[in-house]
Amino acid sequence: MQKRIALLTVLVLSLATLAAAQQDKSKRPSPPARAQCKFADGKTINVDYSSPRIQDPKTHQPRKIFGGLVPYGEVWRAGANEATTFVTDANLSVGGKDVPAGSYTIFTIPNQDKWTLIISKKTGEWGIPYP
């Protein structure tokens, strides 16, 4: 009897997880988007991201994104919803640093005068807190 209960529990949890994974992400306030860059030599970079909405969902008024919704001087996931990710099939050099081909998550630290770019090998993050 306990085996049946355990099996039923696992089945219900699996179905709930599957249902949650099938949600239509395009109906979010900030639906996901993809940008792709194909170079002449055949190399490709894909970036998956969502943009924060300028219109406040509660007041329906425009809001300040940088220095407002996204505070200056704090790590930001560089988008809305899931953290921004990029996949490259080419080795890159970004700001003088080597970035081997692979999958990455992008974070930034925005400031009024300059931004810091953080490229993380840890992927699949919702975005906050920074790993």
Mean pLDDT of 28-44: 79
Tokens of 123: 């992927």
C-alpha span between 110 and 126 (Å, rounded): 19
Question: Per-residue pLDDT tens for 94-130?
Answer: 889 999 999 999 999 999 999 999 999 988 776 666 6
- Is the pLDDT reported for residue 43 higher than 50? yes
Token pair, residue 35, equals: 């940008």
13-48 in b/e form (b: 16+ CB < 10 A) is: eeeeeeeeeeeeeeeeeeebeeeeeeeeeeeebebb
Query: For 117-123, which contacts have Cβ atoms below 8 Å and span 24 or more sequence positions?
Result: 118/75, 119/94, 123/85
Tell me the C-alpha to C-alpha distance, in Å, between residue 80 and each of 5, 69, 76, 86, 111.
39, 11, 9, 15, 18
Q: What residue segments make up the domains of the chain, in order of their start?
A: 25-120
E strand or H helix at 21, and its extent? helix 2-21
pTM as predicted: 0.67
Percent of the chain with pLDDT over 90: 28
Distance CA 15, CA 24 (A): 16
- DSSP string for 2-20: HHHHHHHHHHHHHHHHHHH
